[in-house]
Amino acid sequence: MPKVVLAGIEMETDEDGFITDPSLWNEAVAADLAKTEHVEVMTEAHWKVVNMIRNYYLEFGVAPMIRKLCKETGFKLKEIYDLFPSGPAKGACKVAGLPKPTGCV
Amino acid sequence: MPDIQLPPPEELAKVSFQPRPQGWMDPQVEFRPGTWSYAGKPKALETVGMPNPREWSPTDADWKLPANWKEVILQGLRERLDKYRSLKVFLDICVRCGACADKCHFFIGSGDPKNMPVLRAELLRSVYRNDFTLAGKLLGQMVGARELTMDVVKEWFYYFYQCTECRRCSVFCPYGIDQAELTMLGRELLNLVGININWVMEPVAKCYMTGNHMGIPPHALKDNLEFFADDIENITGIRVDIPINKKGADVLFVIPSGDVMADPGIYTLMGYMMVLHESGLNYTWSTYASEGGNFGLFTSHEMIKRLNAKIYAEARRLGVKWILGGECGHMWRVLHQYMDTLNGPADFLEVPVSPITGTRFEHARSTKMIHIAEFTADLIYHGKLKLDPSRNNAYKVTFHDSCNPARSMGLFEEPRYILRNVCNHFYEMPENTIREQTFCCGGGAGLGNDENMEMRMRGGLPRGNAVRFVHERYGVNLLTAMCAIDRAVLTTLMEYWVPEVKVSGLHELVGNALVMTGEKERELNLRSEPLNEGGEETSD
């Protein structure tokens, strides 16, 4: 299992850089994860997406569907791709500290 | 993202069929990025109590197998030869005629001889010959026998995870050898020593813990269904019912959980909700049997049984009469061919009868479960649904037969009957690429992950080619399929091979066309886009 240092904490990630222990997440970790997704600076818009995903995950135990993410943040899908080039499921969820989605997706 | 450089389509399409200079008996495999899947995570294996959970990667020299790995695999093969008559027959009977050789999408797209189904099977057959036949024991290599070495194990892993268990090759085999069963057995043997892939093991573990592959807990399922009901209300003005875990319902409805989460499957799910509401069927969703799909099919027979058990158990608990299933692909191989043997007999259920039309689905008298395409086609046939196909006029549709509904249950006519009733522009792909000869999406059987992207695009080349043909000839812009894996991986495949074509499920188009009682004037399709954007119907 690869190990990386994010916000000064050494933690495990999977092969694609998703952290394996979501409880280690904090905003500084998110900012460092964002850099691995070619997001140098987390703007207010980035945080709006990440916070929605994070809060949904804490309440429901699973990532929000993309359509719900768009509806609740008011961003179109294309705008989310502009914010996170590898998209909502892989880019934004990674920054929000969620595990990588698997299965029929 | 994985560090994979995918060549441009025009490069990838130049497939070389020049074999390697080494003969086929040389097992050396190069684990080139883009052609294999990540190893199963130990946590997932521990969740379901599978052997040898550990961190490892196929690119490691040492796969960290137990010291007696060879004994375990050969003993596993011995037990399965005794247990499954079909396995022994399939290993003995092949005459290497080669009828299957060029029928595999992975061979067509990669040119790798070991992706010819005959040779992929030979990788296992050669070991069988070496250890279980007299000729092999006496004559060894002369009769194509190979010893089971670590390199052979690695080769098995590489090629048994370059087979999507689609069974197209079996259609052409004069002996009817089911190559999917050989791949399943090959994977099952590898699982005995802890060799598997995470894209299979993670959904298996989640399915075991939450009831579904996506890991959706009950309150999240309810939240999503309510979200879809809000969208439907916004589009139609009708609030559909959301019966969940309803005791005394007539019918339990089981779907692939991908449709609850992922575009474009969610629009198909909205279509299910609308048809079931409009039909007046007394049905229920379940938060326990919240997955029809079964990645046990890509793991072992035991795992198929364990993950499938919840469906009859929930039908019994809720006291329903029969079961209805959604647009999933591989789940129908399990439901149609294994379920009643593994977890039946379901003698507490009734032969499915549609309470709306009175049709008795006699063919399902054993499993007690029918496909929603059968249910909806029957409603349409009896005039029970009012449809306005012009609402799908923006779409020029072609239909991808998903491997398992096609080749495992013969569901060819119902989806086509529905399509002809819900849209005005439906065009078939060439006949050697549809129905029982359908070409796979390239991402089934657990291979639909990103790290395996080059093989997915290669395996999907024949399908992409057939879609390009109807796109160029008829202007087809929508590929419709009854499978959640299809809806996920064909979307990526189309972006690569035919970017002008989008992907949908069948019931999305039904939902668009369905005129619901008391609905408002429709302005939006189920994607909440303006209806028929791009103008009125043009003549053919």
Please judge whether B449 and A102 are an interchain contact, meaning their C-beta atoms are less than 8 angstroms apart. Answer: yes
- Domain locations along chain B: 9-30+51-195, 205-513
Please judge whether B2 and A15 are an interchain contact, meaning their C-beta atoms are less than 8 angstroms apart. Answer: yes
Please judge whether B451 and A15 are an interchain contact, meaning their C-beta atoms are less than 8 angstroms apart. Answer: yes
Query: At the top level of CATH, which class does the domain B9-30+51-195 belong to?
Result: mainly alpha
Q: Which of chain A's residues have a Cβ under 8 Å away from the Cβ of B1?
A: 16, 86, 90
In the prediction, which pLDDT does B532 show? 76
Please judge whether A15 and B38 are an interchain contact, meaning their C-beta atoms are less than 8 angstroms apart. Answer: yes
Q: Which of chain A's residues have a Cβ under 8 Å away from the Cβ of B217?
A: 60-62
Return the C-alpha torsion angle A90, A95, A96, A97, nearest 10: 90
Judged against a pLDDT cut of 70, whether residue B535 lies above it is answered with no
In the prediction, which pLDDT does B540 show? 38
Is-contact B479 B460, C-beta < 8 A? no
Give the tens place of pLDDT for each residue, A59-90.
Answer: 999 999 999 999 999 999 999 999 999 999 89
Percent of chain B beyond pLDDT 70?
A: 98
Q: For strands B478-481 and B369-371, give the pairing.
A: unpaired
Residues A63 and A53: their CA atoms lie apart, in Å, by 6
Return the C-alpha torsion angle B340, B445, B120, B189, nearest 10: -60
- The domains found in chain A, sorted by start residue, are 3-95 (1.10.10.370)
Position B460: which residue type? G
How close, in Å, is residue B220 to chain A by CA atoms?
A: 5
Judged against a pLDDT cut of 60, whether residue B2 lies above it is answered with no
Closest residue, chain A, to B292 (C-alpha) = A104
Higher pLDDT, B124 or A101: B124
For B37-121, strand residue ranges (E) read none
Is A70 annotated as catalytic? Answer: no
How would DSSP label each residue in B14-31? ----PPPSS-TT------
| Mean pLDDT confidence for A17-35 | 95
Give the tens place of pLDDT for each residue, B470-511.
Answer: 999 999 999 999 999 999 999 999 999 999 999 999 999 999
Percent of chain A beyond pLDDT 90?
A: 89
Taking any CB pair shorter than 8 Å as contact, residues of chain A touching chain B are 1, 14-16, 60-63, 65-68, 86, 90, 101-105
Please judge whether A60 and B55 are an interchain contact, meaning their C-beta atoms are less than 8 angstroms apart. Answer: no
Label residue A102 by pLDDT band (50, 70, 90): confident
Contacts of B511 (CB under 8 A, 6+ apart): B267, B268, B270, B271, B274, B275, B526
Is-contact B158 B197, C-beta < 8 A? no
Position B437: which residue type? Q
- What ipTM is given for this predicted complex? 0.95
Task: Supply the angle between the helices A66-73 and B218-236 in degrees, to the nearest 10.
Answer: 70
| Six token digits for residue B239 | 């609030």
In the prediction, which pLDDT does B4 show? 67
| Mean pLDDT confidence for B430-455 | 97
Label residue A101 by pLDDT band (50, 70, 90): confident
Label residue B439 by pLDDT band (50, 70, 90): very high
Please judge whether B217 and A102 are an interchain contact, meaning their C-beta atoms are less than 8 angstroms apart. Answer: no
- Smallest Cβ–Cβ distance between A61 and the set B57, B217, B448 belongs to B217
Judged against a pLDDT cut of 70, whether residue B538 lies above it is answered with no
pTM of the model: 0.96
Is-contact B446 B200, C-beta < 8 A? yes
Residues B189 and B83: their CA atoms lie apart, in Å, by 14
Judged against a pLDDT cut of 70, whether residue B536 lies above it is answered with no
Judged against a pLDDT cut of 50, whether residue B534 lies above it is answered with no
Please judge whether B215 and A62 are an interchain contact, meaning their C-beta atoms are less than 8 angstroms apart. Answer: yes
Give the tens place of pLDDT for each residue, B288-315.
Answer: 999 999 999 999 999 999 999 999 999 9
- Smallest Cβ–Cβ distance between A68 and the set B227, B265, B448 belongs to B227
| Mean pLDDT confidence for A41-69 | 96
Residues B472 and B470: their CA atoms lie apart, in Å, by 5
> Which site among B3, B259, B261 would you substitute to test the A interface, given the most A Cβ atoms closer than 10 Å to its Cβ?
B261
Residues B295 and B300: their CA atoms lie apart, in Å, by 9
| Mean pLDDT confidence for B211-226 | 96
Taking any CB pair shorter than 8 Å as contact, residues of chain B touching chain A are 1-2, 38, 41, 55, 57, 198-199, 202-203, 206, 213-217, 219-220, 223-224, 227, 231, 256-258, 260-263, 265-266, 293, 295, 328, 448-451, 484-485, 487-488
Residues B439 and B453: their CA atoms lie apart, in Å, by 18
Q: Which of chain A's residues have a Cβ under 8 Å away from the Cβ of B293?
A: 103-104
Judged against a pLDDT cut of 90, whether residue A53 lies above it is answered with yes
Please judge whether B224 and A1 are an interchain contact, meaning their C-beta atoms are less than 8 angstroms apart. Answer: no
B434-455 b/e (C-beta count within 10 Å ≥ 16 → b): bbebbbbbbbbbbbbbbbbbbb
Q: Which of chain B's residues have a Cβ under 8 Å away from the Cβ of A63?
A: 261
| Mean pLDDT confidence for B28-53 | 97
Q: How many CB atoms lie within 10 A of CB B534?
A: 10
In the prediction, which pLDDT does B471 show? 98
Give me the phi and psi of A37, to 5 degrees please.
Answer: -105, 20
How close, in Å, is residue B485 to chain A by CA atoms?
A: 5
Residues B96 and B105: their CA atoms lie apart, in Å, by 19
In a 10 Å sphere around its CB, with 0-12 CB exposed, 13-18 middle and 19+ buried, how is residue A36 labelled? middle
| Mean pLDDT confidence for B387-399 | 98
Position B397: which residue type? V
How would DSSP label each residue in B391-457? GGTT--EEEE--HHHHHTT---HHHHHHHHHH-S-B-PPPGGGSGGGPPP-S-TTTT-SSTTHHHHH
